[in-house]
Every structure is written in C-alpha cells, then in structure tokens.
Amino acid sequence: MRPDRTSPIPQDGEEWEGYAIIGFTPHRELAPFENARWKKAGLNDLYHELPVVPNEQLEWFQLHHFKEGRPVDSAIDLSGGPHHPRDATYVDWLRNKSAEIPLYTLGDWPEVPDGIPYPKKEVYKHFGSNYFTNSISFMIGIAIMRGFKKIGVYGVDMMTAGGRGSEYGYQRPSCEMLLGWAMCKLGPENVIIPEESDLLAAAYDYADEHGSRFRVKMEHENEERQKRLNGVRGQKNQCALAEAELVGATNANERWMRGWMPGDNRPPNPGRAPDANAHKTTSGNVCLDPSSLMARSRWGGSVPRAHRLNGSPFPSRWTASGLFWMCHPARSGAISRERSAPQAPK
C-alpha cells in the first residue's frame, strides 16, 4: 500500500510479518532480505550497499534539509547525515524512486515531487514528545504507529562520537527510548536487535566490571585494527625501499653526468653532448700534442667550442685520467695498430 500524501500513516502493519529498518554498519547483512513477508526500509544513499529488493517490499527515508541555493540537479547537503552522497545523481535517484515506492522526505520538496512529507506532528503527538534526534528514531516511530507485529533494526549502532557525517552518540538514547516503547507494545521477543549491535546493550553488568562486554568488544576491534596497522606498516616499508632505490638511481645518473660533462651546470642538451667519435683523428695516433690537435683535428681546424673541456681544446670526453690511459705506450700502440693508415691533410 502506498501512503496517501494527505494521510501518510497507513495501518498496513498487519499485512506484513515484520518491518526491517536497515542502516549502514556491517550487521545490516543480517536483515531478512530473502523473506518477502518483511517490509524493508532504507535511508539516505544506502542503496549503494543493499542487494536488489523488489519495490513492493521497499520504502525509503530522506529526512534531511536540502541545501539552499544549490541547483536542483546537484547533490544535497545531508547536514547531520553523510557528509556528501556518493552518487552525483542522488537527487535524480530520489526523484525517480519516489514514483515507484513510498519515499518519505522532511518536507514538501520540489526536487522530489512524489515524495511523502514525514508526518512529524502526528508522530510527536502520538508519543507525547519530540525526542526524535535522527532518521532511525523517526523510522521506528512510524513503524510502531503502523501496527507492525515485529520490528527489527539492522546495521545501526549509534556509537561513533566524531566529526561531521558520523553517527553521534547523543542520537542513540532517542532510538533506545523508542525501542523500549516497541518492546512494551509488541513484547521483547518481537523487537529484533542483532547481538553485534550496540543498541540496548550495556558495556557491563552493574557492579561487575570484570565481565565487561565493552572490554571484549574493544579487544576484538583492536585485533582487527592491528591487522590493518601491520598491513599499512608493510606498505610503508615497501615505499621506503622504493624511495631508496629511486634516490640511488638518480644519484648514479648525476654522477655519470658530472663525469661525462664536467663543468656543465646547465640542463642536458643534445647539442652539448660529447661526440661519440671525438677521440678519432686523421693522424692515426691517439696520443697527440695539443698544438697538433689544433691544426690536425678531424674538424679541420680548432676544436669546436661545444667539444672543449673547461676552455681546453680537448674533446670533452678526454679527462685527464682518460688521456693518461690512452697515451700509455702499450695502449697507444694497440690503438695505433687498430687505426687505418694515416691520410695526408688536405
């Protein structure tokens, strides 16, 4: 049954076996998705996390103000809820889905023309209080009023007390007040809260701190976090090794550049690179006197400036150690024998 916009609290609970309120925490997976006799209720952008639910079994709640001044086709500001919907077409989803299933909104919003304004006044009057501090409380309240025989709350803890976008601890008592109301009306056995949930659960029995359920929960969470921490530390070590490898390779390249291009402090340029055959001359002898090199170089005159070493006419590849090695009698003779017969200068 789709609620009438003028009377949005249908008495349809008797038609169903139960009403499953589903939130974001992991034990939402325990909700009775396979039971077609249970009505399922989601909220905000939870559809990213849920399996496919037939429309006739589903209804939705978006009980946050739209941010003023934002274009209709943009995301909405879920102040007090998720920091930002994960779907850029979230408003489009609300608009389209509201034509298919009951979709409750906080007001009469033009962005969602088929949405059903949540009946806050009627709900406040029924419970004699406006102690509704979050969407889950409003969902529990309307489920009680609609006459469902069983109510289950899955994926809701209300334990985080952090920054914007989290489930604040101050919201939890409102949920528990309404769950207590439901227990009085339906019986405790007909209000289903998973053991994994923090709702209606004490940290420990009064005056029995040693049997602390809270301690067990924290120790379990710390074990899981330690596993994640070890994984992060392993990644950190791998990054440090990769950094050291790259730094070493970069330093090696810079050393080679200093050795091959001494005195050149400018960025590498192909026009300033050493000539691969700069050591060859027409004399057939590698060990040349600098003055003869000036007159008989393969360039037919003085050594081009691009191939000078610190102003010297030596090709830049001829470092002092290189000249000594190449002018060694044994090496010089070996190289000379490898040269072709000298040609007369032109």
CA distance 109 to 209: 50
Question: What is the per-residue pLDDT for 57?
Answer: 96
**Beta carbons within 10 angstroms of residue 27's beta carbon:** 18
Q: pLDDT value at position 281?
A: 46
Q: Do the beta carbons of residue 18 and residue 150 sit within 8 Å?
A: yes
- Is residue 138 scored above 90 in pLDDT? yes
| pLDDT (tens digit per residue) in 251-297 | 888 887 777 765 555 555 554 445 455 455 444 444 444 444 444 44
pTM greater than 0.85: no
Fold assignment, 13-206:
sialyltransferase cstii, chain A (3.90.1480)
The predicted pLDDT at position 49 comes to 87
Using DSSP, state whether 62 is helix, strand or coil. Answer: strand
The tokens describing 27, both together, are 């034990």
pLDDT surpasses 90 at 308 = no
- Strand, helix or coil at 259? helix
- The per-residue pLDDT for 210 is 63
Percent of the chain clearing pLDDT 90 (strictly above): 38
Give me the pLDDT at residue 27, please.
Answer: 87
Confidence band (pLDDT; 50, 70, 90) for 298? very low
Q: Which residue has better confidence, 15 or 67?
A: 15
Contacts of 263 (CB under 8 A, 6+ apart): 309, 310
What is the 3 state secondary structure string of 162-226? CCCCCCCHHHHHHHHHHHHHHHHHHCHHHEECCCCCCCCCCCCCCCCHHHCHHHHHHHHHHHHHH
Task: Give the least confident one: 53-57, 120-124, 158-162, 305-309.
Answer: 305-309
Domain with CATH 3.90.1480 in the chain: 13-206
Q: What sections of the chain are H helices per DSSP? A: 90-97, 120-127, 135-145, 172-186, 213-260, 290-296, 320-327, 329-338
For residue 344, pLDDT over 70 is answered with no
Report how far residue 149's alpha carbon sits from residue 36's, in angstroms, rounded to the nearest whole number. 15
